[in-house]
């Protein structure tokens, strides 16, 4: 029987995930896995446990929690020469990565997707010795994902991010000078923020990087130039409707390697967590991990890959 290790954040989902754990493990056992669980105890613990599970020969590692927990699990798997399959049970506040793949927040439904077993190879981003699944970025406003209180997120959910964003609006006025080299191109200037994405859903915006593919070997790069607060709010409203890409204040393109240097102190955002300071280089590791996804996403991804291959031919 195949072995599965479910690594979960016991604080995620206001404790609801832990309450349903026996049912989840039972369904995994019915689906052909000798399944066991591990509750994380603090920052970095999910990475250490995922690394141990790989070394112990587990066939499947499941990350259960928010985007931070998922990113930690990825960081335990990605450096290994032989990597098991990976799956998600979303239990965080925004669950951007899971949402972009169509994985439901209902834990039992998410487990059914795992049992169904449709899998695709996914790209992983790397910078220095850190890995990220779906997002890297910079700019003061991107700090809100990890500066927002965990307690507040548990109480009021996604609204906590919006409250924190309002408090951070004055930071838009400060200069953030960057140099971004992407493949054979260069951008230099004052930015509001930039995103390096593998999926279309970022910070609750479903179509922020609409052309993103999780296994095309390229990042989607979105650069927002400096804006006034009024224009920033206008752009946010357009982004909610997926109408933002016509703005002259945006650069949207694809690249497989991106190097970022800054003239001002700036944090790196990796999957919604603080990843240190710039400068750094982001490299795409094509189809680095096999991930279990919903059947609908599997079929959609196959169609998109076929279309890309036809365009190349």
Q: Which residues are catalytically annotated?
A: 273
Whether 49 and 130 have beta carbons less than 8 Å apart is answered as no
What number of residues does the chain have?
313
At how many degrees (to 10) do helices 67-77 and 45-55 cross?
40
66: its two tokens: 């928010």
Reported for 98-102, long-range contacts at CB under 8 A and 24+ positions apart, including other chains, are 98/70, 99/201, 99/206, 100/134, 100/199, 100/200, 100/201, 100/212, 100/214, 101/199, 101/214, 101/293, 101/294, 101/297, 102/293, 102/294, 102/296, 102/297
> What whole-number distance in Å separates Cα of residue 220 and Cα of residue 207?
12
How many beta carbons lie within 10 A of that of residue 135, not counting itself?
A: 31
> What whole-number distance in Å separates Cα of residue 154 and Cα of residue 117?
31
Helices and strands, counts by H and E, the chain: 11, 15
- Return the residue matching tokens 């960081």: 75
> What whole-number distance in Å separates Cα of residue 109 and Cα of residue 186?
44
* Cα of 79 vs its chain's centroid, Å: 17
Helix, strand, coil in percent for the chain, rounding step 5: 40, 35, 30
> What whole-number distance in Å separates Cα of residue 191 and Cα of residue 145?
18
**What DSSP character marks residue 200?**
S
């Amino acid at each position: 029987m195949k072995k599965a290790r479910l690594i979960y954040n016991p604080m995620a989902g206001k404790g609801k995930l832990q309450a349903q754990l026996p049912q989840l493990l039972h369904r995994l056992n019915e689906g052909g896995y000798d399944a066991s669980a591990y509750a994380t105890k603090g920052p970095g613990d999910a990475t250490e446990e995922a690394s141990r599970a790989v070394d112990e020969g587990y066939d499947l590692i499941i990350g259960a929690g928010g985007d931070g927990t998922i990113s930690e699990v990825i960081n335990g798997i990605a450096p290994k020469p032989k990597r098991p399959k990976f799956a998600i049970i979303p239990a965080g506040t925004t669950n951007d990565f899971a949402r972009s793949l169509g994985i439901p927040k209902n834990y039992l439904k998410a487990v059914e997707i795992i049992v169904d077993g449709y899998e695709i190879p996914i790209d992983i981003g790397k910078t220095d010795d850190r890995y990220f699944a779906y997002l890297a970025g910079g700019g003061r406003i991107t700090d809100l994902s990890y500066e927002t209180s965990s307690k507040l997120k548990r109480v009021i959910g996604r609204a906590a991010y919006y409250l924190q964003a309002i408090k951070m609006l004055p930071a838009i006025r400060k200069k953030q000078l960057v140099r971004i080299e992407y493949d054979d191109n260069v951008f230099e200037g004052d930015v509001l923020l930039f995103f390096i994405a593998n999926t279309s859903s970022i910070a609750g915006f479903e179509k922020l990087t609409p052309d993103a593919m999780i296994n095309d070997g390229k990042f989607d790069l979105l650069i927002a130039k400096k804006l006034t607060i009024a224009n920033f709010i206008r752009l946010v409203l357009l982004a909610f409707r997926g109408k933002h890409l016509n703005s002259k204040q945006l650069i949207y393109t694809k690249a497989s390697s991106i190097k970022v240097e800054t003239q001002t102190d700036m944090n790196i955002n990796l999957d919604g967590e603080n990843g240190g300071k710039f400068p750094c280089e982001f490299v795409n590791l094509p189809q680095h991990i096999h991930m279990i996804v919903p059947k609908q996403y599997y079929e959609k991804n196959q169609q998109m890959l076929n279309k890309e291959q036809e365009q190349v031919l």
